[in-house]
Amino acid sequence: MHPGLLIGRLHTLRKKGMDFNMIGVCVVGSGRAGMIHARNFAANVPGAKLIAMVDPVEDVARAACKELEIDKSYSSYEQALENKDIDAYIVVSPTKFHMQTVKDLASAGKHVLCE
């Protein structure tokens, strides 16, 4: 990356109050297991910051965000991929979706933890 672009990017992150070493995390699937991961990443994992939740049931994703005090909810991981602050995805959707989801996220250059 050109140094000027990098400085601009760091400046943007600082304005957002983000630590430069912080990994932005998104949880895909806001059900029982998803919320366990989300609560952990929201409060207990140094160096990681939960920034978004995904669920096709939009009310479920919004309720999760409300509890976790974050403001980015998406109805699909494809939408979440547009958020460049997300570095890592925790895949906790129903099992039948895991393979395609992990392939797409990894192909997009993201870190993935799949339940």
Q: Is 63 in the site for ligand NAD (CB under 6 A)?
A: no
Q: Report the candidate in 23, 27, 26, 25 with the shortest Cα–Cα distance to residue 13.
A: 23
The binder of ligand NAD chosen from 33, 63, 70, 81 (CB under 6 A): 33
Q: Is 54 in the site for ligand NAD (CB under 6 A)?
A: yes
CB of 4 to ligand NAD, least distance (A): 37
Q: How many residues bind ligand NAD, per CB under 6 A?
A: 18
Residues in the chain: 115
Per the CB < 8 A criterion, the answer to whether 41 and 50 are in contact is yes
CB of 93 to ligand NAD, least distance (A): 4
Q: Which stretch binds ligand NAD (CB under 6 A): 4-12, 14-22, 51-59, 104-112?
A: 51-59
SS (HEC) of 22-83: CEEEEEECCCHHHHHHHHHHHHCCCCEEEEEEECCCHHHHHHHHHHHCCCEEECCHHHHCCC
Q: Is 90 in the site for ligand NAD (CB under 6 A)?
A: no
Q: Is 16 in the site for ligand NAD (CB under 6 A)?
A: no
Site residues (CB under 6 A) for ligand NAD? 28-34, 54-57, 60, 92-95, 97, 115
